[in-house]
Amino acid sequence: MKRCPSPPLQPLQLPPPPSQQQQQQQQHQQQQQRQQQQRQKKTDSNIQRRKKSYKPIQQLKSRTNKNNSIKEQVPILTQFIMSERRSSSVSPKPIRPPPRDLDAISRIDASLVFEHFTTTDAWDLGSTLRKRLLPIPTPVVINISLANQNQTIFHSVTHSGVMPDNESWVERKRRTVLRWGCSTWFMACKFGGDEKAFRERYALGNKAGDYAIHGGGVPIRVTGVEGVVAVVVVSGLKEDEDHAVIVEVIKELYY
């Protein structure tokens, strides 16, 4: 009985190795996925933290009702306020000083990129900044505004004692970020606080006072969007602390 000849073996064809560009694209996609997962974890933790912050209000509601007279409600409200003050009176966490090297500052500025930036994101960022600054007794202004229009989407203070001059600083820092597309801390370190050199460098003349080269204004960028999308400003502390606390909170929330 004759055997049928077996068909010739076909050489195994392996897919061509990915090009360097494809490898870079894959690495970039993997990095974006990791960042998105980290941001989602941060968002989930913020939601849980916000739910916990509602508990004191729920406790207050359970202790007061419509049947209570005003005289009966006053001691309850007073006791509630005093207990909240005691719980919030914690020692302030020190703010780490930021780098003064221009390349390092520029890299940090460029790294503050969000997947999206909505009013909800502004609320999370602004309220977390306020909570971070609340243990510090110095009154501080926190402002977040959109870049393409003069619209404020978050504004708050930490303690009484804020002066109208703080509002002027907020606006001046905001203008600096929008005009030069960098943090005001970068401009402060670039000119060493020399207002005259700053004025002459850009031929600002009498308009130099419209801008501030003091730390505390930080640009917000969004992936896939050209230019600055929003500006975060803190005013009231030392200029290096104004800047550093913004960067610190953004990194803790989203990175």
DSSP for 95-146, written as a single string: PPPPP--HHHHHHHHHH-EES---HHHHHHHHHHHHHHHTTS-S--EEEEEE
String of DSSP letters for 179-205: HHSS-HHHHHHHHTT-HHHHHHHTT-G
Predicted pLDDT at 80: 56
Cα–Cα nearest to 133, from 85, 88, 82: 88
d(CA 52, CA 81): 17
Q: What is the pLDDT of residues 137-173, one digit of tens each?
A: 999 999 999 998 889 999 999 999 999 999 999 999 9
| DSSP-derived 3-state class of residue 146 | strand
Q: Show the domains of the chain with their CATH numbers.
A: 102-254 (3.30.450.150)
The pLDDT, as a whole number, for residue 167 is 93
Largest CA distance in the chain: 112
Strand pairing category for 113-114 and 217-222: parallel
Separation in Å, CA 10 to CA 5, 7, 58: 15, 9, 74
Is the pTM here over 0.85, yes or no? no
Angstrom distance (rounded) from CA 110 to CA 116: 15
> How would you write the pLDDT of the chain (255 residues) with one tens digit per residue?
556 666 666 666 666 676 777 777 777 777 777 777 777 776 676 666 655 555 555 555 555 555 555 556 656 666 655 555 554 556 788 999 999 999 999 999 999 999 999 999 999 999 999 999 999 999 999 999 999 888 999 999 999 999 999 999 999 999 999 999 999 999 999 999 999 999 999 999 999 999 999 999 999 999 999 999 999 999 999 999 999 999 999 999 987
SS3 category, 233: strand
